[in-house]
Amino acid sequence: MDCALPAGRYITFVMNPLLYPYVIKQDSQLDFHEFSDQISSFAFGYTPLSHCDIPGLEDEIQRGFQLLKGENLDSTLEAVSANLMQVLRQDHLGAGSWRTSNLYEFCDSIMFETIALTMFGKPPGASYRGDIQALREDFHKFDDMFPLLVARVPVRLLGKTKAIRDKFHKYFLPQRMKAWSNGMRFTQTRMELFDGCDSMKDTDKAAHHFAMMWASVANTIPAIFWNLYGVMSDPSAMAAIREEMRDVLGLSEDQVNRPDTDLTLTREQLDKLVCMESTISESLRLSTSSVTLRLATEDTKIQLDERRWFNVRKGDMVAMFPQTLHMDPEVYGDPETYKFDRFVKDGKKKTDFYKGGQKLKYFLLPFGYGSSRCPGQYMATYLMKLLLCVLLLHFDFLVDPGQSTPPLDTSRAGLGTLPPSSDISFRYRLRTRPPH
């Protein structure tokens, strides 16, 4: 463990992953939501929930995240499949000749629109595609400034950032969103919850929706980039995943090679893709850089064992930085090397990782833990699996030769999945149907 004293507030850093369980079980004394509310409200421009005079609002918001788990995701996966295929048909399911693109831009253009359509639905009017492209450009301009907003730099000092944020507030105003069609149940439930809060300003409601858009996109797209890049760059990974897809999904050649047909995969099918999940876990291990902070709501004694403990004063913080775990050579041999099958063993998920001869309870934490765990973790994982299935079923991919793996963009360290510092050029084409 180590301590730091930024801005007059002690932060205790827990560096040993064997001690993580002792911190995690203190959720009632080490609060995440107040700290998160302060950051999110400042960044996205809404009144902090702690300042709202609406009884139970924060609890209702937290309960709504249950819609991002389990069987509640079944209809969402159907919508993702349909929206993804719609986006691919518009731009990519044309002639079968080789096409050249940049991988991050490819992932971003496909998934921004797919996620927006799935979460919020489609606005009326013929100008939707132009609007979504303008929205994507503004989103990335805002996201470039997000680390400074987290550092509480006033938005007025960040150039056009406030004007862009105001655009999103107007875009997500309740009266506009009510005209949109086929949004996911999670978003509809939030809209109904906010509509019942008469004292909540419309711009605050819009800012909450903007925050959810950021949460669903900002880390998902770089995660998809690293996953797809890892698989494309490793012929063994590509072959293993294609074989697993054939075995698990049992799709006919007609189903695989008909771009006019939506491909719907169930949670049960996606859950069986353990080799594919291993590639996702490995790419997240190599690319995530989150700092998880907890605020002590009272003087707290954290017991480590019968003879060891440490004290945290009310108002001070406890932090964990899982990237040090993810890159620990004692836990992960040759940790800087991508190994697509690192998290699979004998056809099942591998969960036995060790530190100091002891099995780790928490060995991979790309989505956080406990009360600060990303509520969209399961949706994000299914989304990555679904996208990889669709892309590998429909396309052949080749990374252009002579390129090295781009380094991580560390300007976003501490905020989740790090994007690449530069893009990767690649080629893709529709897979050809074998002759009958």
Average pLDDT over residues 238-253: 88
104 occurs within a structural domain: yes
Q: Report the distance separating Cα 38 and Cα 36, nearest Å.
A: 5
Give residue 261's pLDDT: 65
pLDDT tens, residue by residue, 365-405: 999 887 778 889 999 999 999 999 999 998 999 999 999 99
pLDDT at 262 over 90: no
The closest of 289, 290, 263 to 385, measured between CA atoms, is: 263
Q: How far apart are CA 327 and CA 44, in angstroms?
A: 32
- 404-436 pLDDT, tens digit per residue, is 999 999 999 999 999 999 999 999 999 876 544
pLDDT of residue 91: 87
Eight-class DSSP state of 156: G
Average pLDDT over residues 121-137: 88
Q: What percent of the chain has pLDDT over 90?
A: 72
- Residue where the block lists tokens 């047909």: 261
Q: In this structure, is residue 435 part of a structural domain? A: no
Q: What is the pLDDT of residue 436?
A: 41
Residue type, 84: L
**Count of the separate structural domains present in the chain:** 1
| DSSP single-letter state for residue 432 | P
- On whether residue 436 sits in a domain, the answer given is no
Domain residues for the domain of 418 are: 2-430
CA distance 263 to 117: 17
Which residue type, as a one-letter code, is found at position 4? A
| Separation in Å, CA 264 to CA 15, 83, 107, 279 | 42, 11, 20, 21
Separation CA 155–CA 176 (nearest Å): 25
User: Is 248 within a domain?
Assistant: yes
- Tokens standing for residue 226: 């690293």
Which residue do the tokens 């609890």 mark? 59
The string of pLDDT tens digits covering residues 149-190 is 999 999 999 999 999 999 999 999 999 999 999 999 999 999
Q: What is the CATH number of the domain that holds 243?
A: 1.10.630.10
State the pLDDT at residue 127: 77
